[in-house]
Structure 1
Amino acid sequence: MSDISTAFASIQKVALKNIDLSDKKYQISVPKAFSELCKSIEMLGLMHPPLVQKITSCNFSYRVVSGFQRIRACQHLKIECIPCHVISADISAFDCAKRAIADNNCQRPLNILEQSRSLALIKKYLPESASFQSVAKDLGLPASQKAINRISPLCDMLANIQEGIENEYISLPIAHSLSKLPSQDAKTFANLFAQLRPGLNYQREIFTYSYEISKRDQITVTEILESQAVQQILSSDGDRKYKINTIRNHLKCLRFPQYSNMEKKVHQQINNLKLPFQTKLSPPAYFEGNTYLLQMTFKNAAELQQSLADVLSKTNAIEDILNIGK
C-alpha cells in the first residue's frame, strides 16, 4: 500500500496539549475571527477533522498540516481531545505541503495571498524531478508563468502590504510597487491607504506623485506623507472622498508647481468669464498642446444662438486665457 493510501487509514483522538500550534510550517491561511466556526463545532461537532503529522519533540507529539483554525476554535471551546487525521513522521514535506493545499482548496476558494503561500510551499519542497507548474495546476492553483510571477512574491511582502491586499484597499499593481520601496515608506503608504481606501487610479496618482517628489527633492516618502500639510488634511472634518482628492491635488501641486499655478490661473480666468451654465470651456489636459474644448448644450436654435453670442462677446478675455503659459 502506498504512502498516500495509508496516510488517512485511521482517525485518531489527539489531545490538544500535544499539538504544536506554533509550528506554522504548512500554514496557508491567516488567523481570523472564528466565532461562527465555534458555534458550528458546539452545535454539530468537528465535522472535518484537522490533519496533523507525528513529530519527535520534547514538548509536542504533532504538528499541524491543515486545520489551524479548527484546532484554535476547539482550544477556545476548551475541548481537550479532538479527532484528527494523523500521518506518520516519514511522510515527506512535499507530500504534506500538497495535502495542506488540497485540504484548504477543497473547503473554499483560496484568496490571492493563500495562493501565494501555496506556491511558496510547493517551491520550497518541490523535488528536482517534479514540474512546478504541473504540480500547481494539479492542486488547482494558477499555473501560467505570468500568474506565478504576479502572485508568488505577495507572501514575502511586508505584513502591512499583505493586510492591504487581503482587505482590498491596496491593489495588486500598487502592492508590487510598494514592495520595492524602503520598508518605512511602504508602511507609510499602506497606512495611508488603510485610512483612505482610495481606488486604483487614486492609489496610482498618490504613489506616483509622492515617489517622484521624493526622488526630485531627495527626501523620503514618509517625510512627504507625514508633513504638516498632509496631516492637516487627514485630520480635517471632510469625508473620505474629500481627503483623497485634496491630498491628490496637494501632491500634484508639489510635483508640478508650474503646471499647478498655471492651472489655477486658467480656471480662475475661465470662472471670471461667467459663461452660461450650458457652456463649458476646458483647457488641454496637462496643458499639452494649444487646443481648448468648448462644449455647449441647448434645447433649440434660439438657445444655441444666445450661447454663441455670449461666447463671441468675450473673445478678448478668451484670447487672454489662450495666451497664458505661452
Structure 2
Amino acid sequence: MTAITFTDIPVSEIDLSDTGFRITSPCHDIEHLSASISQYGIMVAPRVVYGQNKYIVVSGFRRIEAARYAGLSRITCRVMPAEETLDAAMAAVTENAFSRELTPAELIRATALLLRFMDPESIARNATSIFNRPLNTGYINTLARIHAMPDSVFDLLDQGKISIKACKTLVSMDAETRTEFLHLFSLIKVSSGIQMEIIAWAKEICALEKISLATLIQQSPLGDSESDGSGVAGSGLGHRDMSALGKQFKAFLVQRRFPALTAAKKQAREHINALELDSGLQLAVPENFEGLVYIIQMEFKNVDEFKTRLNRLAELAKNHDFKSLVDRKV
C-alpha cells in the first residue's frame, strides 16, 4: 500500500497548471466552496504527489482552487510519493467514482488516464473496484477513441448536448464530418435517442442529395442568410431555446428525408381539422401510418354529454373527410 503522509503545504507550492490527473471538468463557480472553506476549513484533505520541487494535484482541484481564492496560504494535503503514478491515477478515479456516479466526460477522462499505466484488459478486470461499475474491454477502447476527438466534445458531454453513444458513432466518420456534427450539437439540445436519429437522417440526406453536412445545416432553421461569415455559430442563435431548436431541426430533417410521409401527415391533419370535432373528441392516426388502427378519445361529464358525443361519432361515419382519412390502402 502506498505510504501517505498528511502535510501542511504552502498553497503557492501546489502546481494547479499540471492537470495530468484531473478527470473532472474545470469549474469556475467556486465562490460558495471558498466561503465554506473560509468558515469551516477543508473537510477532506486534497491528495497530491511530490516531485521536482513541487506538488502535483491528484484529487481536490476545486478545493485547492477555492482555498487559494479564499486567501489561505497553507492547507493540509495527503502526500503520495512521486514514483507511485499508477496508484495516484487509480486514486484520482476512485475518489470520485465512489463518492458519486462519474459523468460521461469524467468516465472518458478517467479511462484515458488509466490507459497511460494499464492495458484495457487490466482495467476491465479491476473496473468494479476502480470505477464502482463493470466495464468491458470493447467499451474501454471506445472511450479511448472518443478521448482522441477534439476537446470540444468534452464541453458538449459536460453540457449534456451529446451522449457517449452518439460519440461512438461519430468517431468512425471523417474529421470534417465529425467536426460539423459536433458543431451542430453545440447549437441544439436533444435526447440521446434523437441525437442518433439526427445523425442517421443527416447522413442519409447528405448521401442522397450529394451535399455536405455544413450545407444541410445552413439550409435548416439553424442557418442564417445574414450570418457574419463565421458560420452558423455566428448566426445569433444564442438567445433561442436550444431544446426548441432541436425540435425544429429534427422536424426539418424528417420533412427532408421522408417527404411522402410528411405530406401524408399534413393531409391527415387537414382532414382532421375539416371534421371540426367537438372539444371532447380527439382522433389519432396510426404512428407514421404503419398500421390500420385509429384511436378516438372521448370525454364527457354526464349521460347527456355522452349521448351527444355518440351522436357526433355516428355523424362522422357519413363524413367524406373522415372516410378519406380512414378508408385508405396500406
Task: Give the TM bin, normalised by the shorter chain.
Answer: 0.7 to 0.9
Of 153, 157, 168, the match for 1:161: 153
Quote how far apart the aligned CAs of 1:296 are. 5.3
Change (3 A) 1:30 1:244: closer
Q: Secondary structure of 2:115's partner?
A: helix
Q: Which residue does 1:62 correspond to in 2?
A: 55
Of 125, 136, 141, the match for 2:127: 136
1:188–1:222 Cα contact (<8 Å) kept: no
- Alignment of 1:77 onto 2:78: no
Higher helix share: 1
* Matched residue type, 1:69: R
Residues 44-74 of structure 1 show CA distances to partners (whole Å, capped at 9, x for unaligned) of 3334333222223xxx533222222222223
2:47–2:57 Cα contact (<8 Å) kept: yes
Tell me how far apart the structure 2 counterparts of residues 298 and 141 of structure 1 sit (CA, whole Å). Answer: 50
Residues 282-321 of structure 1 show CA distances to partners (whole Å, capped at 9, x for unaligned) of 44432335x251525265573355124311322x444444
Question: Which protein is bigger by CA-based radius of gyration?
Answer: 1
Change (3 A) 1:119 1:184: closer
Tell me how far apart the structure 2 counterparts of residues 165 and 175 of structure 1 sit (CA, whole Å). Answer: 9
* Matched residue type, 1:271: N
Tell me how far apart the structure 2 counterparts of residues 236 and 61 of structure 1 sit (CA, whole Å). Answer: 42
Gaps of 5+ in 2: 225-234
Tell me how far apart the structure 2 counterparts of residues 109 and 159 of structure 1 sit (CA, whole Å). Answer: 22
Of 38, 46, 58, the match for 1:50: 46
Q: Which residue does 1:190 correspond to in 2?
A: 185
RMSD: 3.6
Identity of aligned residues (%): 23
Change (3 A) 1:34 1:229: closer
* Matched residue type, 1:131: S
Of 7, 12, 16, the match for 1:12: 7
Tell me how far apart the structure 1 counterparts of residues 131 and 238 of structure 2 sit (CA, whole Å). Answer: 47
Tell me how far apart the structure 1 counterparts of residues 239 and 75 of structure 2 sit (CA, whole Å). Answer: 52
Tell me how far apart the structure 2 counterparts of residues 292 and 258 of structure 1 sit (CA, whole Å). Answer: 20
Q: Which residue does 2:106 correspond to in 1?
A: 114
Change (3 A) 1:240 1:185: closer
Q: Secondary structure of 1:124's partner?
A: coil
Alignment TM-score, normalising by the size of structure 2: 0.76
Alignment TM-score, normalising by the size of structure 1: 0.77
* Matched residue type, 2:214: T
Higher mean C-alpha deviation, range 36-45 or range 221-230: 221-230
Of 17, 27, 51, the match for 1:22: 17
Of 207, 210, 222, the match for 2:202: 210
Higher mean C-alpha deviation, range 35-44 or range 174-183: 174-183
* Matched residue type, 2:20: K
Q: Secondary structure of 2:102's partner?
A: coil
1:154–1:162 Cα contact (<8 Å) kept: no
* Matched residue type, 1:126: M
Quote how far apart the aligned CAs of 1:253 are. 1.1
2:50–2:56 Cα contact (<8 Å) kept: yes
Q: Secondary structure of 2:272's partner?
A: helix
Q: Which residue does 1:267 correspond to in 2?
A: 269
Tell me how far apart the structure 2 counterparts of residues 296 and 27 of structure 1 sit (CA, whole Å). Answer: 55
Quote how far apart the aligned CAs of 1:125 are. 0.5
* Matched residue type, 1:254: R
* Matched residue type, 1:266: A
Q: Secondary structure of 1:131's partner?
A: helix
- Alignment of 1:293 onto 2:294: yes
Q: Which residue does 1:256 correspond to in 2?
A: 258
2:109–2:147 Cα contact (<8 Å) kept: yes
Q: Which residue does 2:118 correspond to in 1?
A: 126
Q: Secondary structure of 1:30's partner?
A: coil
Tell me how far apart the structure 1 counterparts of residues 185 and 60 of structure 2 sit (CA, whole Å). Answer: 30
Quote how far apart the aligned CAs of 1:108 are. 4.7
Change (3 A) 1:240 1:63: closer
Residues 144-176 of structure 1 show CA distances to partners (whole Å, capped at 9, x for unaligned) of 427656766554444433333323343443343
* Matched residue type, 1:133: A
Tell me how far apart the structure 2 counterparts of residues 242 and 187 of structure 1 sit (CA, whole Å). Answer: 18
2:220–2:252 Cα contact (<8 Å) kept: no
1:279–1:307 Cα contact (<8 Å) kept: no
Gaps of 5+ in 1: none
Tell me how far apart the structure 1 counterparts of residues 90 and 243 of structure 2 sit (CA, whole Å). Answer: 44
Change (3 A) 1:200 1:64: closer
Change (3 A) 1:325 1:108: closer
Tell me how far apart the structure 2 counterparts of residues 265 and 79 of structure 1 sit (CA, whole Å). Answer: 69
